Amino acid sequence: MPKSAALLVRGTTMHKPSSQPKKRLLKLKLNGRWREDAVFERELLVDYLREVTHLTGTKTGCDGGECGACTVLVDGEAVPSCITLAMRCEGRNVETIEALATQGHLSRLQRAFHEKLGAQCGFCTPGMIMAAEALLRRNPTPTDADIRTALSGNLCRCTGYVKIIESVQAAVESTS
Partner 1 sequence: MTAEPATDGRLSRRGVPLIDGIEKVTGRARYTADLDHADALIGRILRSPVSHGDILRLDVSRARALEGVWAVITGDDCPHTYGVLPIAMNEYPLARGRVRYRGEPIAAVAAIDAETAERALGLIELKVTELPAYYTSEAARAPDAVLLHDNKPGNVEREVHHQFGDVVHGFAAADLVREEQFCCAEINHAQIEPHASLAEFDPLTGRLTVQTVSQVGYYLQLMLARCLDMESSRIRVIKPFIGGGFGARVEVLNFEIVTALLARAATGKVMMQLTREETFITHRARPQTDMRLKLGMSENGRITACELHVVQRGGAYAGYGIITILYAGSLLHGLYDIPAVKYDGYRVYANLPPCGAMRGHGSVDTRHAFECLVDRMARELGLDPFAVRRANLLQAPTRTMNDLTVNSYGLAECLDKVERASGWRERLGKLPPGKGLGMACSHYVSGAAKPIHFTGEPHAVVNLKLDFDGSVTALTGAADIGQGSSTMVAITVAETLDISLGRVRVIAADTAVTPKDNGAYSSRITFMVGNAAIDAAKRLKAVLVAAAARKLEARPEDIECAGEVFRVGNGDQSTLPFADVVAAALVDEGAITVKGTFTCPPDAQGGKHRGGAVGSTMGFSYAAQVVEVSVDEATGLITVDKVWVALDCGHAINPLAVEGQIQGSVWMGMGQAMCEETRYLEGLPAHASLLEYRMPTIMDSPPIETHIVESHDPYGPFGAKEASEGALAGFPPALVNAVANAIGINFTELPVTPDRVMDALIQRRRQARLASTLKAAS
Q: Which residues bind partner 1 (CB under 8 A)?
A: 2-5, 7-8, 10-11, 13, 15-16, 18, 20, 50, 55-63, 66-67, 69, 96-98, 100-101, 106, 110-111, 113-115, 117-126, 129, 148-149, 151-152, 154-165
Q: In 10 A of CB 71, how many CB atoms? A: 29
- Considering the complex, what minimum distance in angstroms separates the CB of residue 165 from partner 1? 7
- The residue among 93 and 120 lying less far from partner 1, judged by its C-beta, is 120
- Considering the complex, what minimum distance in angstroms separates the CB of residue 98 from partner 1? 5
- The residue among 126 and 136 lying less far from partner 1, judged by its C-beta, is 126
- Considering the complex, what minimum distance in angstroms separates the CB of residue 114 from partner 1? 4
- Considering the complex, what minimum distance in angstroms separates the CB of residue 125 from partner 1? 5
- The residue among 73 and 91 lying less far from partner 1, judged by its C-beta, is 73
Give dist(CA 72, CA 79) in Å, integer.
Answer: 5
